Structure 1
Amino acid sequence: MPMPDDDPQELRLLAIVPAYNEEGMIGRVVRDINRNAPDFSVLVVDDGSLDSTVAQAEAEGAIVLRHPFNLGIGGAMQSGYKYALAHGYDVAVQVDGDGQHKPEYLPEMLEALRTGTNEADMVYGTRFRGDPGYKVPIGRRVGNMIFSIVLTAITRQKITDPTSGFRMVNRRGIELFARDYPHDYPEVEAILMLHNNRLRIHEVQVRMNARGFGRSSIDYPRAAYYMVKVMLALFVGLLRRRPDAFEGTPPPSTGDFPAVEAGAEGGGSA
């Protein structure tokens, strides 16, 4: 299903910003999206933060969904995709609340999603087709390389940065991820889901920032767990029969969502 040929201003565009205790960066992230991609509405999914993340997001005019407790990045993103599906958005993009993803690339990613040679259902930003923009720790580079080799073999297309969360999907991608989304370190598994459902993937070179505030939640024990868990998930995914081309799912009821706390729908600041 190719993207409509409509002007981007006629498409309903949503930036989903998962955030957990990101009071030091969330306001800047929302402002950067509004400045660089004003046609995108901004939805902050607060994943049980204990600081002033919600207040900072509200102050910048973002729509806010609140989880009563922390569900992890996968749970936060699935809430965002469910919101996008229920509210009729055509495109949704993940922009992490820690400031690593640069909203200046959103117009380029949208253009690739709309005009990609393979009618892409997802476009993601890769750090590893050029200068990544910051020094990526060696452990992450090695892990990413392993996943890249495995997914490239599975999908039969070059996947250079499978751990990148900077990804944009069309309506079919929204429908798939609203129905089912990996909850524990989801990026790699989500690519396999797209492949298993015959959705197409395209990548564009981006530069990213080093984390702007706080520290990563992935330490060495979690990194080891991540590698084992994701490799097992990929193995299980390979055993599943590929279905016919994904046809989408009916919109979920609005009762599936946390309450909308603040902000107005529409691009730019309120």
Structure 2
Amino acid sequence: MNTILAIVPALNEVDNIGSVVQNLKSTAPWLDVLVIDDGSTDQTAEVARAHGAKVISLPVNLGIGGAVQTGFLYAVKNHYDVALQVDGDGQHRAAEIEKLIAPILIGEADVTIGSRFLVKTSYKSPWPRRFGIYFLSKTIQSVVRKRYTDPTSGFRAYNQKALRVVSMHYSTDYPEPDSIVTLVKNRLRVIEISVEMDARLSGSSSITPFKSGYYMFKVSLAIILNSMMSRIWRE
């Protein structure tokens, strides 16, 4: 039987993390759930443990990339067949997990990305953010010659081969778009799967309109530079 790990990065998600872990465990009881507490100053870690998750508490805030990469390293060390990346704010539906991992389990993909935009879904996104996602999609397409409609999605699944790559090479700051280039350059099969997502359960995103513009510029530059680098992993 395949062993599957859900990696849940979380920073000060005390109001959301209990529901996230509970939904994962009730919908997919065959999952192991690992919460990466990224230097939270609230009770995120305690609530996650109380709901049955394994927890790694980082002594300082590493950012989303460092937190997720910690989970990748854990998955590789513990020989998981598949690892999922699931946000700690409740946006990612546990009911969509089987759809996300199915192509990996049957050997059709090495990485799957849950997309809100591959086909029309109920998800509503503000137009500035939608434009930023479109811009990043075009930037990635220009260097990998393949279109990804939702490159900022953090709802993903990886097989062992892909985990070996991202556990060694993963951007620390907003890594999702840049990692697509890394994975494709390493000759991994990266596909999108249409999924439904929700708005975060409570609280607000840390990405303000100003940060969105800076993020788009920074990540686009990282994508271009990454495309010029040699492959990271070899068979």
Q: Same fold (TM over 0.5)?
A: yes
Alpha-carbon distance, 1:104 to partner: 0.7
- Cα offsets for 1:41-69 (capped at 9, x unmatched): 00000001111111110111100000111
Shift, 1:115, TM fit:
2.7
Between the aligned partners of 1:25 and 1:211, the Cα distance in structure 2 is 8
- In 1, the alpha carbon distance for the partners of 2:28 and 2:99 equals 10
Task: Give the AA of the match of 2:42.
Answer: D
Match of 1:115 among 106, 118, 124: 106
What letter is aligned with 1:154? V
Alignment of 1:63-142 (within 5 A): 63-115=54-106, 119-142=108-131
Looking at structure 2, the residues matched to 203 and 35 of structure 1 have their Cα atoms a distance apart, in angstroms, of: 25
DSSP 3-state at the match of 2:167: helix
Superposed CA deviations along residues 208-261 of structure 1, whole A, max 9, x for unmatched, are 001111110111222122111111111112222346x733xxxxxxxxxxxxxx
Q: What do the CA deviations read for 1:62-109 (whole angstroms, capped 9, x no partner)? A: 000001111110000000001111111110000100000111111111
- Aligned match for 2:234, one of 218, 243, 246: 246
Matches of 1:169 and 1:48 in 2, distance apart? 25
CA RMSD of aligned residues (A): 1.4
**Secondary structure in 2 aligned to 1:198?**
coil
1:60 maps to 2:60: no
Asked which structure has the greater RCO (Cα within 8 Å, sep 6+), the reply is 1
Deviations along 1:147-183, one digit per CA (max 9) or x if unpaired, are: 1112223222221110111000000111111112111
What is the alpha-carbon distance in structure 1 between the residues aligned to residue 91 and residue 158 of structure 2? 19
Q: Which whole-Å deviations, capped at 9, do the CAs of 1:180-200 have from their partners, x for residues lacking one?
A: 211110010010110111111
Contact 2:81-2:159 at 8 Å conserved across structures = yes
Q: Which residue of 1 aligns with 2:13?
A: 22
1:190 to 179, 188, 197: 179
Cα displacement (A) at 1:132: 3.6
What one-letter code is carried by the residue in structure 1 that aligns with 2:11? Y
8 Å Cα contact 2:143-2:224 kept in structure 1:
no
Which amino acid letter does the alignment assign opposite residue 183 of structure 1?
T
Q: In the superposition, relative to structure 1, how do residues 246 and 47 fare at CA in structure 2: closer, same or farther (>3 Å)?
A: same
8 Å CA contact 1:199, 1:246 repeated in 2: no
- Secondary structure of 1:79's counterpart equals helix
Query: How many aligned positions are there?
Result: 235
What are the within-5 Å matches in structure 2 for residues 253-264 of structure 1?
none
Looking at structure 1, the residues matched to 102 and 126 of structure 2 have their Cα atoms a distance apart, in angstroms, of: 31
So what's the TM-score if we normalise by structure 2? Answer: 0.96
Whether 1:236 aligns to 2:214 is no
Q: Which amino acid aligns with 1:97?
A: G
Where 2:193 maps in the other structure, the secondary structure is: strand
Find the aligned partners of 2:32 and 2:234 in 1 and give their Cα distance: 26
The Cα of 1:133 is off from its aligned counterpart by: 2.8
Q: Which runs of 5+ in 2 are unaligned?
A: none
Seen in structure 2, the aligned counterparts of structure 1 residues 31 and 197 have a Cα distance that, compared at 3 Å, is same
Which has more radius of gyration?
1
Q: Sort the Cα spacing of 1:225 and 1:192 in 2 relative to 1 into closer, same or farther, 3 A.
A: same
Q: Which amino acid aligns with 1:36?
A: T
Structure 1 pair 48–132 and aligned structure 2 pair: CA distance change class (3 A): farther
* Equivalent-residue separation in structure 1 for 2:229 and 2:56 (angstroms): 33
Identity among equivalent positions (%) equals: 45
Q: 1 CA distance for matches of 2:221 and 2:192?
A: 25
Q: Aligned equivalents of 1:133 and 1:57: distance in 2?
A: 29
Provide the C-alpha distance between the structure 2 equivalents of 1:241 and 1:55, rounded to a whole number of angstroms: 42
